[in-house]
């Protein structure tokens, strides 16, 4: 996918994406972890250990090709996206916990994402003739490409909060619009192979999405988190940042592979449907508010004085 559009525009798009993420973060988001120590620890364990392990198991079980396998591992290593906060809000999750997890995961992913991808490249593609676009000697490059814009965004928000509030939406829309154009170009270039990619990776993506959502909710409940915290973790763990994953996969200076972007592209579509279904189920599972049951209403009525004649 070597073209002027991807060579010069995509690295800029990736930087803008991470700058926009930084605009939405504050130091308080990281300090808030003290209020949610157990759910935060569970979410990080799921994000950093359980999901990559589950993804690796799926990749090996279904025998995916090398580039699709690396693409799946890239997806698994990507942190939660901003859509997780929106879905958590819509379906009764603890949004403050979502913001905290997004902040921490985004920073940790600066280190863990290159490591997971490099290990995946060494495992799945060491015996192929394909050029490996992202090696350990480029980890520093990835670190800088991701971390510097995030830090710049946070600094902007700290020094100019009004500007950050006004520009956050515009920055995100601009970056996503540019990425959509690049993805369309990539799809057109690979149009003869897309049906085969979908057949190869579709079921794996669906299973991984289901595992991600289920693990996020179930692990938090097992750790004695309440329903709202579990909903927040469900979406934070289940809704990976596909925009970041596709940008890394397509970038000529990083992975430069349309095939590695396919799992994230499929996941982006599948996840919306599955997240809506999960949210509907979780809404039905939510405990009733205090005083809403029949027995509570009867007790309340008995405690209130009757009307005087």
Q: Which pairs from 305-309 meet CB under 8 Å and 24+ separation?
A: none
- Domain containing 188 — which CATH number? 1.20.1530.20
Instruction: Using pLDDT thresholds of 50, 70 and 90, give the confidence band for residue 93.
Output: confident
Name the phi and psi angles at 60, rounded to 5: -70, -40
Q: Give the per-residue pLDDT at 307.
A: 43
pLDDT at 242 over 90: no
Residue 194 domain flag = yes
Q: Give the per-residue pLDDT at 211.
A: 93
Residue 297 domain flag = no
What is the extent of the structural domain holding 68?
4-282
Q: Give the per-residue pLDDT at 178.
A: 67
Instruction: Using pLDDT thresholds of 50, 70 and 90, give the confidence band for residue 1.
Output: very low
Residue 305 domain flag = no
pLDDT at 103 over 50: yes
Residue 296 domain flag = no
The secondary structure of residue 193, as a DSSP letter, is T
61, with CB counted inside 10 A (0-12, 13-18, 19+), is: exposed
pTM of the model: 0.69
For 32-83, the DSSP string reads: GGGG-HHHHHHHHHIIIIIHHHHHHHHHHHHT--HHHHHHHHHHHHS-B-TH
28, with CB counted inside 10 A (0-12, 13-18, 19+), is: exposed
Residue 222 domain flag = yes
For the chain, the average pLDDT equals: 76
Q: Give the per-residue pLDDT at 212.
A: 92
Instruction: Using pLDDT thresholds of 50, 70 and 90, give the confidence band for residue 306.
Output: very low
Residue 300 domain flag = no
Give the residue with greater pLDDT, 27 vs 295: 27
Q: Give the per-residue pLDDT at 125.
A: 80
Instruction: Please give the structure tokens belonging to residue 125.
Output: 């593609």
Separation of first and last alpha carbons in the chain: 84
Residue 303 domain flag = no
Q: Do residues 250 and 185 lie in contact, with contact meaning Cβ atoms separated by under 8 Å?
A: no
Residue 292 domain flag = no
Q: What is the mean pLDDT of residues 68-72?
A: 92
Q: Do residues 240 and 274 lie in contact, with contact meaning Cβ atoms separated by under 8 Å?
A: no
Count of domains observed in the chain? 1
> Cβ–Cβ contacts within 10 Å for residue 47, how many?
28
- Residue 89 exposure: Cα atoms within 13 Å on the Cβ side: 7
pLDDT at 100 over 90: no
pLDDT in tens, 185-234: 666 665 666 677 677 788 999 999 999 999 989 998 888 888 888 998 99
Instruction: Using pLDDT thresholds of 50, 70 and 90, give the confidence band for residue 146.
Output: low
């Amino acid at each position: 996918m070597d073209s002027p559009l991807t060579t010069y525009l995509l690295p800029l798009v990736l930087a803008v994406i991470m700058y926009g993420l930084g605009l939405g973060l504050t130091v308080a988001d990281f300090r808030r972890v003290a209020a949610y120590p157990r759910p935060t620890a569970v979410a990080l364990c799921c994000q950093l250990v359980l999901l990559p392990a589950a993804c690796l198991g799926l990749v090996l079980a279904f025998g995916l090709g090398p580039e699709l396998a690396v693409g799946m591992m890239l997806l698994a290593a990507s942190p939660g996206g901003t859509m997780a906060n929106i879905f958590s809000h819509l379906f009764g999750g603890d949004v403050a916990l979502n913001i905290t997890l997004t902040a921490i995961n985004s920073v940790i992913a600066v280190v863990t994402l290159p490591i997971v991808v490099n290990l995946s490249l060494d495992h799945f593609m060491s015996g192929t003739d394909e050029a490996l676009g992202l090696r350990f000697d480029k980890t520093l490059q990835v670190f800088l490409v991701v971390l510097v814009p995030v830090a710049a965004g946070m600094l902007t928000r700290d020094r100019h909060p009004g500007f950050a509030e006004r520009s956050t939406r515009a920055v995100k829309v601009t970056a996503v619009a540019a990425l959509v154009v690049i993805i369309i170009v990539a799809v057109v270039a690979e149009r003869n192979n897309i049906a085969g990619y979908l057949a190869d990776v579709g079921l794996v993506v669906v299973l991984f999405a289901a595992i991600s959502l289920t693990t996020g909710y179930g692990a938090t409940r097992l750790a004695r988190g309440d329903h709202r915290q579990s909903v927040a973790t469900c979406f934070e763990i289940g809704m990976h940042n596909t925009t970041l994953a596709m940008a890394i996969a397509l970038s000529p200076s990083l992975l430069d592979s349309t095939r590695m972007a396919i799992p994230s592209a499929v996941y982006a579509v599948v996840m919306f449907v599955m997240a809506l279904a999960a949210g509907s189920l979780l809404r039905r599972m939510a405990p009733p508010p205090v005083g809403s049951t029949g027995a509570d209403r009867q007790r309340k009525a008995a405690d209130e004085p009757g009307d005087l004649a």
